[in-house]
Amino acid sequence: MFLYPLALVVQQSVQPDTGGTSLQPYSDVFGSESFREALGTTVWLAVGATVGCLVLGFALALVIAFVPFPGGKAVAKFIDVFLSFPSFLITLSLLFIYGTKGMANGLWTDATGASGDGPFQFLTTPWGVLLAEITYFTPFVMRPLLAAFSQIDTAQLEVASSLGARPLRVVRKVILPEALPALAAGGSLVLVMCLNEFGIVLFTGAKDVTTLPMLVYSKAMLESDYPAACVVAVVNIAISVGLYGLYRVVSRRAGA
């Protein structure tokens, strides 16, 4: 039952509107500039968001795990709750703050008396999509990192510090090696999810940002070109399955 819809997508991708069975839809899609641009946009957004999530997630997880502060345990528990939020909810929150009519632009126009929409217009650009993806997916990196950090013997950190190691050296020599499997697992998961993300791109209203999922939607719903939509979907599925296999291998080695 689960594989049947996927089989239909693959079947439809080799059935052009002219009838019969042919690889012409693949040739047409692969030769189109829109597909190449969507593929490039999808890859750079996914890679950029993954790198951003790894850096930000590692820094935040370090603070939560090793820097005592009021409410630290509550923040750690909230990470689990955050993982259940739909992606469009985070995007809407960013729109309320940084959107054309958002709070930041409203405060700017009120403070300066300037007319117009305000200076914060980046949310509808590729950089806005990247910010939204990093904001939403960072907790998916933090969760395995916090689990890995909880297994680190604090005595190792105390010994390293007592021997004169500076905090950055302790992080690099003691904490980071223990965190690498969790970083790899979290980064692999984020990469897969970013490649398939649809809601964030749609809700930011970034008209010039077309990813593979957005191209599937455009071909199917706006152009009624179902063979082309299925070709793009097959490519997206192939990439996702390959990366998911990599994620499973990394997770198994990380003990996740």
Domains of the chain, with CATH numbers? 32-254 (1.10.3720.10)
Determine the 3-state secondary structure of 115 from DSSP: coil
Distance CA 49, CA 53 (A): 6
Name which of 201, 248, 191 is nearest 54 in CA terms.
Answer: 191
Amino acid letter, 189: L
pLDDT tens digits, residue range 201-234?
888 877 788 999 999 999 988 888 889 999 999 9
Exposure letters 24-56 (e unless 16+ CB within 10 A, then b): bbbeebeeeeebeebbebbbebbebbbebbbeb
User: What tokens were used for 1?
Assistant: 């039952």
Q: Dihedral, CA atoms, 200, 230, 50, 147, nearest 10 degrees?
A: 90
Distance CA 229, CA 232 (A): 5
Determine the 3-state secondary structure of 117 from DSSP: coil
Question: What 8-state DSSP symbol labels residue 221?
Answer: I
| pTM, full prediction | 0.85
Question: Do 219 and 211 contact (CB within 8 A), yes or no?
Answer: no
Name which of 232, 231, 190, 237 is nearest 210 in CA terms.
Answer: 232
State the pLDDT at residue 52.
96
Residue 231: which H helix or E strand, with range?
Answer: helix 226-254
pLDDT tens digits, residue range 1-53?
667 888 888 888 888 877 778 888 899 899 999 999 999 999 999 999 999 99
pLDDT tens digits, residue range 145-165?
998 888 887 777 777 777 777
**How many residues make up the chain in this entry?**
256
Distance CA 101, CA 116 (A): 10
Neighbours of 105 (CB within 10 A): 20
